[in-house]
Homo-oligomer: A and B are copies of this chain.
């Protein structure tokens, strides 16, 4: 597939729209979006709001989540540089989104995507495929929350994060223990204790609380079940 096809049909707008660079001519102009910078914990959109835009992380990280009426939170996913989020088939956002630390995102008008999909079958297929990828992630997450132990959840999480980060030496945790807990269906104390336990077992090292080094990836994979 050509670079142009990628830009048009997989909405890899990061490649198409090297905003700040000089390649604005690549990709259809409708896909251009403004770059927006959000500060730590800033809301990007709320659950139930009209889904006027989809987003792509340029730098930083974003969490999407749902709340129960008493404030309990379930984080659906963490979105790192290059990840798309907030794309909806329906008219409203089904989760809320917030910046974790400072984050820059590219904003893409949903109507532009819909218009493109109405014209171009490959584009429509690409939108479907993006949503299907979200679904697959959610289904794996269900297995984690429904059937894995705390230790297995943490191990799965670390491996997943590592697989998504280019730099392989040490994994960076852009999110707090609370965020991890709310993603893993645990408490911060359990997350912390589990990390400590993995460290004591020599499976990982924690040079700082936001950095993880894999000392025994095989042991982690076994825990991944």
Spell out A's residues near B (CB within 8 Å): 66, 68-70, 72-74, 76, 88-90, 94-95, 117-119, 121, 124-125, 127-129, 131-132, 134-136, 138-143, 145-148, 182-185, 225
Protomer copies:
2
Q: 4 additional contacts, CB 8 Å, given A72-B148, A138-B142?
A: A73-B147, A94-B136, A119-B121, A146-B184
Most B Cβ at <10 Å: residue of A90, A124, A140: A124
A68–B142 Cα distance when bound, in Å, is 12
Q: A70-B225, A128-B128 are in contact. Are A142 and B143 (CB under 8 A)?
A: no
Cβ 8 A contact of A142, one of B69, B128, B141: B141
Report whether A89 and B132 are in contact in the complex, using a CB–CB cutoff of 8 Å. yes
Q: Which residues of B contact A148 (CB under 8 A)?
A: 68, 72
Chain B: minimal CB distance from A93 (Å): 11
